[in-house]
């Protein structure tokens, strides 16, 4: 699944880096998630390998990470956003970055994380890289001439990718946050300008399908069976829907909060329910749990499964030559 989210608030963007991108959804003493730079724009700025805190925060402030000078010109104007009650309001329109989050089907996360098949984690990372390479081709910038405007393709982004492995409910949830800063280099004008994301959003389904195709191809090579869905995604054969639902508590929580909001304010049911769900998902986050390491997570997942479900997962992994990482 590919889910885009725009970050407008500088303070929130900085906190998002410190408290979520680098920390994941649980705390383990001394552990930090290392992001990786990607994109032709990042290369042009000399950004390679691991994401540094100072570099990331400088770009959030629209500063060149080496010179400290403004990277692009910015125009501030108003936009409409949805508040916690589903009502629209005016807010300052200052795009800091775009967060394109890629995640595999739930059964894939279960096999990779609860089951311990590390090959799937690597395959996910490779599929994300291929998908982001495709998305980069749709990068563009706005061109204004004689009172009219149009978009010009630039084909480069300044990106930072962070790989996570749990949901806020501590379910196995493999996903990657691909941060695209609001800057792209316009070769025609020889300068950095704001990134126009219209064509990237139009290409969202295509990029999502590229990710699914690359991941499914790797899973088939590993020996897994694939059950395709009409909507374009898939699940692994051999894992029941009951087990998938058991490890989808965050999704169920969002469903319930959306149901309650619409029950209390039925007039909002005719609006964009997807926007309401997105607001709940991003802005009504439960507190992170501290001092949860990998062993505690595996034990937690093991405890939540019935004996039959543990046997189900162990059997699937055994077919691939893996031993289950939990006891039956």
Residues that are catalytic: 26-27
Element (H, E) at 217: helix 204-222
Residues contacting residue 169 through CB under 8 Å, at least 6 positions apart: 249, 250, 253, 286
- What is residue 250's three-state secondary structure? helix
Catalogue the E-assigned strands of the chain: 2-7, 36-38, 77-82, 88-93, 97-102, 140-145, 148-153, 159-166, 172-181, 184-186, 191-193, 226-228, 234-236
Q: Cα–Cα distance between 183 and 205 in angstroms, integer?
A: 23
Asked whether the beta carbons of 282 and 77 are under 8 A apart, the reply is no
* DSSP β-bridge partners for residue 172: 166
């Amino acid at each position: 699944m590919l889910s885009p989210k725009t970050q407008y608030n500088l303070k929130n963007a900085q906190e998002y880096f410190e408290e979520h991108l680098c920390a994941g959804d649980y705390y383990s003493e001394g552990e930090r998630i290392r992001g990786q730079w990607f994109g032709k724009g990042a290369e042009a700025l000399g950004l390679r390998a691991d994401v540094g805190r100072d570099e990331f925060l400088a770009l959030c402030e629209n500063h060149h990470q080496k010179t400290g000078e403004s990277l692009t010109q910015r125009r501030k104007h108003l936009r409409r956003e949805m508040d916690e009650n589903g009502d629209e309001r005016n807010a300052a329109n200052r795009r800091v970055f775009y967060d394109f989050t890629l995640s595999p089907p739930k059964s894939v996360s279960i096999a990779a994380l609860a089951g311990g098949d590390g090959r799937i984690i690597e395959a996910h990372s490779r599929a994300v890289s291929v998908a982001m390479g495709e998305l980069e081709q749709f990068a563009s910038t706005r061109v204004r001439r004689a009172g009219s405007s149009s978009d010009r393709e630039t084909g480069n982004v300044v990106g930072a990718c962070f790989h996570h492995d749990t949901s806020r409910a501590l379910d196995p949830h493999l996903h990657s946050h691909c941060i695209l800063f609001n800057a792209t280099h316009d070769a025609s004008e020889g300068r950095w300008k704001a990134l126009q994301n219209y064509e990237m959003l139009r290409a969202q389904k295509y990029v999502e399908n590229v990710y699914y195709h690359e991941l499914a191809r790797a899973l088939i090579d590993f020996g897994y069976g694939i059950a395709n869905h009409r909507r374009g995604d898939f699940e692994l054969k051999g894992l029941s829907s009951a087990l998938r639902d058991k490890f989808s508590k965050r999704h169920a929580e969002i469903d319930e909060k959306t149901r309650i909001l619409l029950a209390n304010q039925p007039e909002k049911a005719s609006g964009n329910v997807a926007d309401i769900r997105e607001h709940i998902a991003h802005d009504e986050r439960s507190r992170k749990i501290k001092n949860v390491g990998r062993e505690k997570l595996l034990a937690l997942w093991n405890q939540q499964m019935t004996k039959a479900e543990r046997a189900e997962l162990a059997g699937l992994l055994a077919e691939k030559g893996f031993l289950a990482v939990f006891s039956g």
